[in-house]
Amino acid sequence: MIIGGPLEFDAKSLSEEKLPSLIEELGFKEENVVWTRSGRSAISFVLEVFKHKLSEGWLLLPDYQCWSVNSAFQSVKLKNYNINSNLEIDLATLDNLLNDSNIQAILLIDFFGLSDINSQISFIKQKRPDILIFIDAAQSFFSLIINHKKYENADAIILSLRKFLPISDGGSAIFPEMPVNSLTIDDDNISKKMNHLYFSASAMRTIRRGFKFKDPLVEQFESKYLSLFQQHNELFDNQVNPISSMSKEIIERTDLKKLALDRKDNFLFMRNLLLKNDLKFLEPIFGDTLGPALVFPVRVKNSERNNLRQYLQSKGIYCPVHWPIPSDKKLLSGSGAITLSKEILGLPIDQSCNKSTMLITLEEILTFLEKF
């Protein structure tokens, strides 16, 4: 059994016809949206749209972030604000930074789709109504589907749909209050290569599921599909490119609200499991918040995060880490970000999971505690 990891494509999950417009269901107009190859591509598009204002000053970024995405901001001047170990903004520090009239914009990350974004937006707008607010919703696409007003008063919303769906590429930038020129979907050679690598890897992973866990061929199939996924990921860059026609078609024929509700149910079930078992060395983050999160984030105490992750992976349970801090970026990171980078682990709750798989995850965590 495999739990977590990359999502595999299943044609049976698609509607025979296109469903109502996702953008219109979210309360926006098609003219306010651009479909891009990735979240990074969407960031680059946003920076291009607002380049004049951004050229006049600084953009604030959180010190806890995906550092591979950080390269998309190289065209603007940056300052960092602190995130504490509970993934909350240090409002005192932020308040002080906003006193600087040179600050022109701020990026807020909706961590795992569980942050209290609207209160953060209100805090900033009350102090600096002139400031641009960009929402990195790469981890919270399904949250927006359930709560259409989650990012009210934001100037731009950046999505990464490929994190939530079995598609080879797909991002989006939404500009709630302004029309933008869309990108023409004309599949280039990179799009075609992405599709080939992604669906080849997905097929290899589906085949790997068919083997018994200790079959000697498992390692070879796993090595092959990991190699294909790695080649696929290396094709993404910071250029502004459109989504592929295949990914757009899959999105338009997927019941996204159902998937979002499935994830929300999984989140609630995993939360209740952890609270019931009272695992002292696992500290849930956002324990009182319920939503269709990207993963169920926990902090693993006693420097056991990497050991637990390795053990679970040996049992076919794949838990991502968000995010390691490169050595050259540690001076930009506060104590909260450094703590998170060492302790945080994402338990899988995606739409391929169910109560059975989550119970297995818990059982293996308990076994790890007994053994180690």
Each residue of 304-323: pLDDT tens digit?
999 999 999 999 999 999 99
60 shares its domain with 157: yes
Is 66 exposed, middle or buried (CB count within 10 Å of its CB: 0-12, 13-18, 19+)? middle
Confidence band of 287 (pLDDT split at 50, 70, 90): low
CATH number of the domain that residue 98 is part of: 3.40.640.10
> Tens of pLDDT along 31-64?
999 999 999 999 999 999 999 999 999 999 999 9
124, β-bridge pairs: none
Q: Are residues 131 and 274 in the same domain?
A: no
Question: What b/e sequence results for 314-353 when a residue is b if at least 16 CB atoms lie within 10 Å of its CB, and e otherwise?
Answer: ebbbebbebbebeeebeebbbebbebbbebbbbbbbbbbb
User: Domain holding 354: CATH number?
Assistant: 3.90.1150.10
Q: Could you read off the pLDDT of 151-163 as tens digits, one per residue?
A: 989 999 999 999 9
Question: Assign residue 113 a region: left if phi > 0, alpha if psi is -120 to 50, beta otherwise?
Answer: left
- Structural domain includes residue 188: no
Q: Which of 158, 174, 190 is the last residue of a domain?
A: 174
Collapsed DSSP state (helix, strand, coil) of residue 17: coil
Residue-range definition of the domain harbouring residue 315: 256-371
| Prediction pTM value | 0.95
Q: Are strands 344-347 and 3-4 parallel, antiparallel or unpaired?
A: unpaired
Give the whole-angstrom CA distance, residue 329 versus residue 322: 15
| CA distances, 340 to each of 64, 284, 336, 343 (Å) | 8, 12, 6, 5
Considering the domain architecture, whether residues 167 and 282 belong to the same structural domain is answered as: no
Asked whether residue 37 falls in the same domain as residue 156, the answer is yes
39/151 same-domain check: yes
- First-to-final CA distance of the chain: 23
